[in-house]
A and B are shown apart, each in its own frame.
Chain A
C-alpha cells in the first residue's frame, strides 16, 4: 500500500503543474492590459499607470518569465511582493472591487457550509434507495427507482432549481433563496455575534442563536434539495448494480443456506462489500459538490464561490474567474488525493497489494 500512496503522492505535483499551465494558457487570451489586474491591489487611475504596471511586472516578457512571475509574484520598488498564486495572491477583481483572494475568503465558507449539509442527505438517501432497489429487484421500488433515476438525470440543475423555487418560494413562501433573512443578517453583522468558524450554521449554534441557525437552514433547504436530487440518481444506480452483483456471490448463498435471517444476509454480509465502489463514488461526489455548485448557487442566489465565479464570468471579469478556477483546482487535487488514500484503507484488495 505504501507504494500505492507514494505513487499517488508523486502525481500531485504533476497535476498541479498541469492545472497551472492550463489556466496560465487561458490567461494568454487576455491582453497585457487585462492581465495587469493580476498584480494590482486597486483600480489604476490612468492609462499611464497601467502601462507602468505592464512594464514593472514583465507582462511583455517571454511566456516562461511571465509564468514564473505568475507563480511566485514580483517584488516591487517598495520591497513588497505583488501577485504570485503560490502565495495565494490571485489578483484584483474588477467586479467585486477587491482582491480575488479576499473574495474567495468570504465566499468559500458559505459553499463549504452548504456542501457539509448536503453530504448526508445525498449519500445516505442515495445508498438507501439503491439497496432497496437491489433487494427488491424488479419490484415496485426498483421500477420506481429506475424511472426516478432517468427523470432525475434528465432534469437540468437550473430547471429543477427554478421549478422548486416556483413551488416552494413563489407559491408557498416556505423556503426563500439567498443566505439569511434581513433581521438575521443584521444580528450576524453586529458585534454580539462572534464568527468562530465562519461557517454560518455552526457559528449560530456556538453563539446560542438557534433562531439564526434555523433561518440559515431554511435558506439552504432548496439548494440542498437540488443538490441531493441531481446526485441521487447516480448513487442509486451504482449502489443498485454493486449490490445486485454482491447478492449473486457464493458467500451470500452460503449465508442463506446456513439459515441466517434475510435481514442479516443483506445488511451484514452483502451490503458492506457492495459499498466499496459506492465509497469511491461518494468521495468523488463530495469533491464534485464542492466544485460543481456553480449552477445551484446561481439559481438560488446563494453567496458561495460558485455564484461569484458565475457572476464574474458573465461580466467577463476573467482574472477573477481564473482565480476561482485555480482555487478550485487546488482544492480538488488535494481532495481527490484524500479520497484515493482513504480508499486504499477501506478496500483490502488495495491495502494488501
Chain B
C-alpha cells in the first residue's frame, strides 16, 4: 500500500495513525459505497432480511421441482381441481389436473398422491401452486418495474440536475404533477385505462406501476448529483475541456448512482406489494394466473365464512408479508446507514 501513504516526511503521522489496510473491494466501490455495503452486512436485522430474500429466490428458481406444472407450456396457469366455489381444506385429495409427483414428495409426505398441501381456494385453484409459482411472478414484475423506474429516474434526475435552471424547474414541476395523485389510485386508473389495449395480463399493471413509480429516484439522484457537481474534480474536468456528456456519464453519474441503486433494488418488496394490491382490486392478470394478489382476491367472496376457510387468506397473506418484510428489513438497515447523522457510528 505504498502509494496510499502521503509523500513528504510523515514519520510522525505514521507513528500515531495506524494505516488501515484497504482491500480490493473497498477500492473498487470507493469508501462511501463500501461503508453502505458493510453496514448492511453487519446489521442482524438486514441479515435476517437477506435470508428471507434468499429463501424466496430459491423457491422461485426451484418452482418446477417443488411443484411441476400441469400444463408445461403455460406453467403460470394455476391447475384447477374441479369448479366448485367452496374452498377445500389443506390436505384434501387432489383429483383432477394432478401435477407430476416430484422426487422430494414421497420421502417428505409419505405418499405418492398429491394432496392440496395448503388447500384450495374458490374455483378449486390450488393455493400451494399459486404461492410457489406466484413467487416467480413476483420477482419478474418486481425486477422489470424496478429496473425501468430506476433507469427513467436516473435519466430524468441527472438531466434535471446537470442543466439546472429552467430545465430543472420544468422537470421538477412535472415530477410534482405525477406525485399529486395517490400512488395506488393513479396506478389503478392507468391500469384500468390501458387494460382494453393489452387484454388482461401482467402488462397493464406493470406499465401503471412504472409510470407512477420513477419520481422518487429522479429526486434522489438529482440531489446527489447537485452535491457532486460542486466537487473539485468536476471543476478540473471542466477546466481541461471535457465534453458535457462525458462529464455527466463518466464523472458524475458513476459517483452519484450507488445510493439510488441500492434503494431501487430494495424497492422490489414495495413494487410486489403494489402489484398484489392491484391484482387484489381486480386489475391485473387474467383469472387463474399464479399471482399472490389474485390468490388473495379469491377470499373477497368468502368474508363471512373466513372462520371456516381461514387458509385461503392466511397462507398467501403470510407469504406476501414475509416477502415484503425481507426487503423492508434490509431497507430499514439501509436507511440507518445512509442517514448522515449516523455516519461514523457503524
Interface residues of A (CB under 8 A from B): 11, 14-15, 18-19, 21-22, 26-27, 29-30, 150-151, 153-159, 162-163, 165-166, 169-171, 177, 245, 288, 291-292, 294-295, 298-299, 301, 306, 309-310, 312-314, 316, 318, 321-322, 324-325, 328-329, 332-333, 336
Task: Beyond A154-B321, A156-B321, list 12 extra A-B contacts (CB 8 Å).
Answer: A22-B178, A163-B314, A165-B303, A166-B314, A294-B185, A295-B277, A301-B303, A309-B188, A313-B188, A318-B189, A324-B189, A332-B180
Q: Which residue of B181, B269, B280 is within 8 Å of A295 (Cβ)?
A: B280
The 19 sampled A-B contact pairs (Cβ below 8 Å) are A11-B176, A14-B173, A29-B193, A150-B329, A158-B296, A159-B296, A163-B313, A166-B314, A169-B303, A170-B308, A294-B182, A298-B281, A310-B281, A313-B189, A314-B192, A321-B193, A325-B181, A328-B185, A332-B182
Q: List residues of chain A with CB within 8 A of the CB of B180.
A: 15, 18-19, 329, 332-333, 336
> For the complex, is B245 an interface residue (Cβ under 8 Å from A)?
no
Q: A153-B328, A156-B273, A295-B280 are in contact. Are A325 and B185 (CB under 8 A)?
A: yes
Interface residues of B (CB under 8 A from A): 45, 173-174, 176-178, 180-182, 184-186, 188-197, 269, 273, 276-277, 280-283, 296, 299-300, 303-308, 310, 313-314, 317, 320-321, 324-325, 328-329, 332, 341
- CA separation between A328 and B186, bound complex, in Å? 10
A234 to chain B, nearest CB (A): 12
Q: A156-B320, A314-B282 are in contact. Are A19 and B185 (CB under 8 A)?
A: no
Contact at A154–B324, with CB atoms within 8 Å?
Answer: yes
Closest 10 CB pairs of A and B: A18-B177, A314-B282, A154-B325, A170-B306, A166-B306, A313-B192, A291-B182, A170-B307, A159-B317, A154-B324
In terms of DSSP, what is the predominant structure of the interface of chain A? helix
Q: A15-B176, A26-B190, A322-B189 are in contact. Are A316 and B195 (CB under 8 A)?
A: yes
Q: List residues of chain A with CB within 8 A of the CB of B190.
A: 26
Q: List residues of chain B with CB within 8 A of the CB of A313.
A: 188-189, 191-192, 281-283
- CA separation between A29 and B204, bound complex, in Å? 12
Q: Which residue of B193, B276, B306 is within 8 Å of A162 (Cβ)?
A: B306
A337 to chain B, nearest CB (A): 11
B316 to chain A, nearest CB (A): 8
B127 to chain A, nearest CB (A): 14
B182 to chain A, nearest CB (A): 4
- CA separation between A15 and B178, bound complex, in Å? 9
The total of Cβ contacts below 8 Å across the A-B interface reads 155
A165 to chain B, nearest CB (A): 6
Q: A29-B194, A322-B189 are in contact. Are A166 and B182 (CB under 8 A)?
A: no
Q: Which residue of B193, B313, B328 is within 8 Å of A318 (Cβ)?
A: B193
Contact at A26–B189, with CB atoms within 8 Å?
Answer: yes
Contact at A316–B192, with CB atoms within 8 Å?
Answer: yes
Q: List residues of chain B with CB within 8 A of the CB of A329.
A: 180-181
A287 to chain B, nearest CB (A): 9
Q: List residues of chain B with CB within 8 A of the CB of A321.
A: 188-189, 192-193
B332 to chain A, nearest CB (A): 6
Q: List residues of chain A with CB within 8 A of the CB of B324.
A: 153-156
- CA separation between A316 and B193, bound complex, in Å? 7
B110 to chain A, nearest CB (A): 31
Contact at B191–A165, with CB atoms within 8 Å?
Answer: no
Contact at A162–B178, with CB atoms within 8 Å?
Answer: no
Q: List residues of chain A with CB within 8 A of the CB of B299.
A: 162
Contact at A162–B313, with CB atoms within 8 Å?
Answer: yes
Contact at B310–A166, with CB atoms within 8 Å?
Answer: yes
- CA separation between A325 and B189, bound complex, in Å? 8
Q: Which residue of A19, A27, A306, A316 is within 8 Å of B177 (Cβ)?
A: A19
Residue ID in chain A nearest B329 by CB atoms: A150
Q: A159-B296, A313-B188 are in contact. Are A291 and B181 (CB under 8 A)?
A: yes
